[in-house]
Amino acid sequence: MVELLAYLRANGFKTFIVSGGGVEFMRPWTEKVYGVPPEQVVGSSIKTEFKMQDDTPTLRRLPEVNFIDDKAGKPVGINQEIGRRPIAAFGNSDGDLEMLQWTTMAGAPARLGMLVHHTDAEREYAYDRDTEFGRLDKALDAAPIMGWPVIDMKADWKKIFKD
């Protein structure tokens, strides 16, 4: 995936990470790991407020969810944060189904949707239809109908992590 992101950027594409994970968790490391800067990460968030504290401006997290960037929230988050429909989207769980639908079904021109199926428990982590974490069931069923290629990590990737 790192190679794909680099290839897309080298060919004039702007790449984003759209994750159900919290933006404050994701943004500190996505640039180093994936080459995606913090301002190009869309994720779940907690409500935050500005406050002057001892003459110092601060941001304080409130005990309240602001936005959940998962399932139907992903297209909403993309629209709010990026402002345009993706040309291509890659998902790896049922939490990405709506993002893939919105990317590929919302009108012309044709756009690319792909699924990464985590099948390699030896080199990474395998999850599928019956796992609680990262379940891939509905999107896997939709892929052949929608024409989304499914990338099988174990069969299709020679290398998962950098050496």
Q: Is the pLDDT of residue 156 over 90?
A: yes
pLDDT at 124 over 80: yes
Average pLDDT over residues 73-94: 97
Mean pLDDT of 66-74: 97
DSSP collapsed to 3 states, the chain = CHHHHHHHHHCCCCCCEEEEEEHHHHHHHHHHHHCCCHHHEEEEEEEEEEEEECCEEEEEEEEEEEECCCCCHHHHHHHHHCCCCCCEEEECCHHHHHHHHHHHHCCCCCCEEEEEECCCCCCCCCCCCCCCCCCCCHHHHHHHHHCCCEEEHHHHCCCCCCC
List pLDDT tens digits, range 15-56: 999 999 999 999 999 999 999 999 999 999 999 999 999 999
Rounded distance, CA 139 to CA 141, Å? 5
Query: Mean pLDDT score of the chain, rounded to an integer?
Result: 95
User: For position 137, what pLDDT does the model report?
Assistant: 96
Write out pLDDT tens, residues 51-66: 999 999 999 999 999 9
The length of the chain in residues reads: 163
**Confidence band for 2, pLDDT divided at 50, 70 and 90:** confident
Whether the pLDDT of residue 119 is over 90: the answer is yes
Domains of the chain: 2-155 (3.40.50.1000)
pLDDT at 163: 66
pLDDT at 54: 97
